[in-house]
Amino acid sequence: MYSPQLPLARTRVLFPSESEPSQADRHPVGGGGGGVVGGTLEASLLGLIHHHHHRSALLRDRAEKAKGDAIRSATAVSDLLVEAVNGGVQEAFLNQKRVELEIRALAATVSRFTKQTDHWLASTRALNSAIKEIGDFENWMKIMDYDCKSINAAIRNIHQA
């Protein structure tokens, strides 16, 4: 795009040191054929350049200082954010470790209870089997007693006849 051209001439404020002609004003090369007028123009340009360089250096220093302050502030903020996030992460990690330890303890307890339950179940089955066998033996004894009485009655009937 087309940008408007800046004006070529600017108004100039004289510095206190410019009230008297400087060494550059009296120099034959700086003055040309114009004497004091040409020297003043050169001194003004040198003053403007010096003033520009001085202001540029000040602005550069301020920018560097602001940049350093911004970097320090950003570092501090990022450190605080990392600490805040890491605090939560660390707490979650510790909680996870506690939960894992509890899970292992519960798994060991469940395993122990399972073995104990299996042992009790085997003992109960053995007891039930023994009780059944006692019941079967008692029933067998009753049958034997009945058979013996029947045989005894048959032998008496035969013996009396």
pLDDT digits (tens, 9 = 90+) for 139-160: 888 999 999 999 999 999 998 8
Task: Tell me if 49 is assigned to some domain.
Answer: yes
How far is the C-alpha of 9 from the C-alpha of 13, rounded, in Å? 13
Task: Tell me if 147 is assigned to some domain.
Answer: yes
Q: Where are the beta strands (DSSP E) in the chain?
A: none
Centroid of chain to Cα 41: 66
- The pLDDT confidence band at residue 83, using thresholds 50, 70 and 90, is confident
Task: Tell me if 145 is assigned to some domain.
Answer: yes
Per the model's pLDDT, the better-predicted residue between 25 and 95 turns out to be: 95
> Tokens 């410019």 map to which residue?
18
Task: Tell me if 115 is assigned to some domain.
Answer: yes
Nearest to 12 by CA among 46, 53, 35: 46
Q: Is the pLDDT of residue 32 over 50?
A: no
38, 44 Cβ separation under 8 angstroms:
no
Q: DSSP secondary-structure letter at 18? A: G
Dihedral angle sign, alpha carbons of residues 45, 46, 49, 51: negative
Task: Tell me if 11 is assigned to some domain.
Answer: no
How far is the C-alpha of 51 from the C-alpha of 49, rounded, in Å? 5
46, 34 Cβ separation under 8 angstroms:
no
Task: Tell me if 12 is assigned to some domain.
Answer: no
pLDDT, position 4: 56
Task: Tell me if 122 is assigned to some domain.
Answer: yes
Range of the domain at 133: 21-160
How far is the C-alpha of 145 from the C-alpha of 13, rounded, in Å? 145
Predicted TM-score of the model (pTM): 0.39
Task: Tell me if 133 is assigned to some domain.
Answer: yes
Question: What total number of domains does the chain contain?
Answer: 1
